[in-house]
Amino acid sequence: MKRYVETTDSIKVPRSLRERVVNEKSRRRPVWIAVAAAAAVIAIIVAIVLPGGGITPIAGAIYMAKYPEMSPYPEDESQKAYEAWWEDIKAQRRPDGYADGLEDFFTTSIRELLSGAGDENAACSPLNIYMALGMLGGLTDGETREQILELLGCGSIEELRRQAGDVWNATYLDDGATRSILASSLWLNEDVDFNADTLETLAKTYYASSFQGEMGSEELNGSLHQWLNEQTGGLLTDQVDNINLKADTILALAATVYFRAKWTPEFSESHTEPGTFHSPAVDITCEFMHQGGTDTYYWGEGFSAVSKYLESGGRMWFILPDEGVTPEELINSDEVMDFILSSDGRKNSKTLIVNKSIPKFDISSRTDLIESLAAMGITDVLNPDIADFSPMTDEDFTPGIDGQDIYLSQATHGVRVAIDEEGVTAAAYTVMATAEAGEPPEEEVDFILDRPFIFVITNPDGLPLFAGIVNEP
């Protein structure tokens, strides 16, 4: 029986690491101000992708990540409260150019995971997959690692660690008004001695908690479910319940993204009313949120777009295909991907009175990542005869002996995104429009999302936390 790395369940940690806590900063814990909308992602790829760090003690914990605590978002006009909050915000900022080189990966992953949606809803978290692959790179070596580094646009594991740490900190926000957390964990087989240095490096870079126990046991699977639900705010319970580690699992890696933020300004519930959405299969009735005012309207070849600012400083983009153009056609357009990922400003924009009509939605999707990883060039990690996981085990563990070949056997990506009048919860960038596209009216334009459209949720620096296609709200 081959033993393998699985992307979804529990994990145990070496005794030398037990009870150690990763604590980069320690500040006053804010009180969470509830918002109504939410989104979360679970990506399993020797890792599962989901948001948040657990607070409730979990059996078998070796490392428990502790996130930076931030001063509460100033709800009043207190100068002192504002200054404390702003100092914590500045502490999370990263130098210009920290994410350079990630555009190709974001383009590749978005296209791979959203193409082929057909008439169904589809969603993904590029940053979630990035963090999961980054951790996978830290667990591998040789050509196995090189394939991961190439996909992520990094020349070395040191460069990847630096960049991943910057991405984590730039995305992190937990100030009571907004919550944006990239969380990760390792689930270790109690019968295997793991490399403590590797686990510690992952803990420092990715805030990765580690757990160790009996693979396939009810206790370990229960701990995994608990951790995943805590990190995703309970948004993906149905998917989490179907994630269970097998007895021959060596290690599992879970990475999560969780994002909650209010619109600024919020939509008024009194302006929400039923309307018709023209899905590919049939017209349906759903609730549309309405808001008008001075805004920036964008357009390009085959599309128009607007964005809604979030209290975090991030944005949610809504990209509407022209009549006769499908969302999938836009996803495969270089102009549209440049628009999504642009950080240098976007051409073909105009300040107008924009009357927005946006459907409330709550969508989810689940994707098997094995074929997608292979399509993106990650192949060695899937082959038990080639995969190199030497950094994760101690010197006494020899893969290949007694059938103990280690490889990635499962990789799953689950996402849920919901928006309403108050805001959105998720984790989720660039642009170039053609001159041939027709300009909007001079003063006022109606932007009505009453047919399939694309959305992207970005962090304050424009990195895509979530991206998706809504065919049916």
Contact between residue 37 and residue 418 where contact means Cβ atoms under 8 Å apart:
yes
Q: Which of 17-31, 34-48, 310-324, 368-382 has the lowest mean pLDDT?
A: 17-31
Q: Which SS3 state, helix, strand or coil, does residue 469 take?
A: strand
Residue 339 has pLDDT above 80, yes or no: yes
User: What whole-number percentage of the chain has pLDDT above 90?
Assistant: 33
Q: Do residues 456 and 325 share a domain? A: yes
Domain that holds residue 321: 269-360+428-470
Output 102 or 187, whichever has higher pLDDT: 102
- Does a structural domain hold residue 450? yes
Residue 50 bridge partners (DSSP): 183
Q: Do residues 168 and 239 share a domain? A: yes
Tens of pLDDT, residues 279-300: 998 999 999 999 998 899 998 9
How much is the average pLDDT of 54-69? 67
105: which 2 tokens? 């990966």
Q: Which of 161-175, 214-228, 259-273, 413-427 has the lowest mean pLDDT?
A: 413-427
Q: Residue 332 belongs to a domain with what CATH number?
A: 2.30.39.10
Residue 374 has pLDDT above 70, yes or no: yes
Q: Do residues 211 and 347 share a domain? A: no
Tens of pLDDT, residues 106-115: 999 999 999 8
Query: What CA–CA distance (Å, rounded) separates 135 from 186?
Result: 10
Q: Do residues 318 and 177 share a domain? A: no
User: What whole-number percentage of the chain has pLDDT above 70?
Assistant: 80
Output 196 or 397, whichever has higher pLDDT: 196
Query: What CA–CA distance (Å, rounded) separates 201 from 364?
Result: 33
Per-residue pLDDT, 63? 76
Query: What CA–CA distance (Å, rounded) separates 231 from 416?
Result: 13
Q: Do residues 283 and 402 share a domain? A: no
182: which 2 tokens? 């990239």
Residue 343 has pLDDT above 80, yes or no: no
Q: Do residues 52 and 121 share a domain? A: yes
Give the 3-state secondary structure of 128-176: HHHHHHHHHHHHCCHHHHHHHHHHHCCCCHHHHHHHHHHHHHHHCEECC
How much is the average pLDDT of 51-69? 61
Query: What CA–CA distance (Å, rounded) separates 243 from 230?
Result: 15
- Does a structural domain hold residue 235? yes
Q: Residue 141 belongs to a domain with what CATH number?
A: 3.30.497.10
Query: What CA–CA distance (Å, rounded) separates 268 from 123?
Result: 27
Per-residue pLDDT, 262? 87
Residue 225 has pLDDT above 70, yes or no: yes
Q: What 8-state DSSP symbol labels residue 439?
A: P
- Does a structural domain hold residue 14? yes
- Does a structural domain hold residue 386? yes
- Does a structural domain hold residue 422? no
Q: How many structural domains are present in the chain?
A: 2
Query: Angle formed by the axes of helices 126-139 and 103-114, to 10°?
Result: 110
pTM: 0.85
- Does a structural domain hold residue 421? no
How much is the average pLDDT of 218-226? 88
Q: Which SS3 state, helix, strand or coil, does residue 273 take?
A: strand
Give the 3-state secondary structure of 185-207: EEEEECCCCECHHHHHHHHHHHC
Contact between residue 128 and residue 41 where contact means Cβ atoms under 8 Å apart:
yes
Per-residue pLDDT, 382? 84
Q: Do residues 195 and 339 share a domain? A: no
Write the burial class of residue 78 (CB in 10 Å: 0-12 exposed, 13-18 middle, 19+ buried): exposed
CA atoms 111, 116, 121, 123: torsion sign = negative
Per-residue pLDDT, 305? 93
Query: What CA–CA distance (Å, rounded) separates 213 from 229?
Result: 19
Q: Do residues 56 and 173 share a domain? A: yes
Residue 377 has pLDDT above 80, yes or no: yes
How much is the average pLDDT of 438-466? 84
Output 321 or 33, whichever has higher pLDDT: 321
Q: Do residues 62 and 38 share a domain? A: yes
Per-residue pLDDT, 332? 93
Per-residue pLDDT, 40? 54
For the chain, give the mean pLDDT.
79
- Does a structural domain hold residue 423? no
Q: Which of 219-228, 309-318, 343-352 has the lowest mean pLDDT?
A: 343-352
- Does a structural domain hold residue 237? yes
Residue spans of beta strands (DSSP E) within 263-326: 273-278, 283-300, 303-309, 315-321
Residue 31 has pLDDT above 50, yes or no: no
Residue 227 has pLDDT above 50, yes or no: yes
Tens of pLDDT, residues 425-447: 432 211 111 122 344 456 788 89
Query: What CA–CA distance (Å, rounded) separates 452 from 448?
Result: 11
Q: Which of 251, 142, 203 is nearest to 17 (CA)?
A: 203
347: which 2 tokens? 């051409």
Q: Do residues 402 and 283 share a domain? A: no
Query: What CA–CA distance (Å, rounded) separates 299 from 358?
Result: 17
Contact between residue 462 and residue 357 where contact means Cβ atoms under 8 Å apart:
no
Residue 393 has pLDDT above 80, yes or no: no
413 pLDDT band, cuts 50/70/90, is confident
Q: Do residues 379 and 299 share a domain? A: no
Q: How far is CA 97 from CA 66, 94, 322, 428, in A?
A: 27, 8, 34, 18
Per-residue pLDDT, 75? 78
Write the burial class of residue 195 (CB in 10 Å: 0-12 exposed, 13-18 middle, 19+ buried): middle
64 pLDDT band, cuts 50/70/90, is confident
Contact between residue 386 and residue 341 where contact means Cβ atoms under 8 Å apart:
no
Q: Do residues 274 and 256 share a domain? A: no
Query: What CA–CA distance (Å, rounded) separates 242 from 249?
Result: 16
Query: What CA–CA distance (Å, rounded) separates 452 from 330?
Result: 11
Query: What CA–CA distance (Å, rounded) separates 271 from 261?
Result: 21
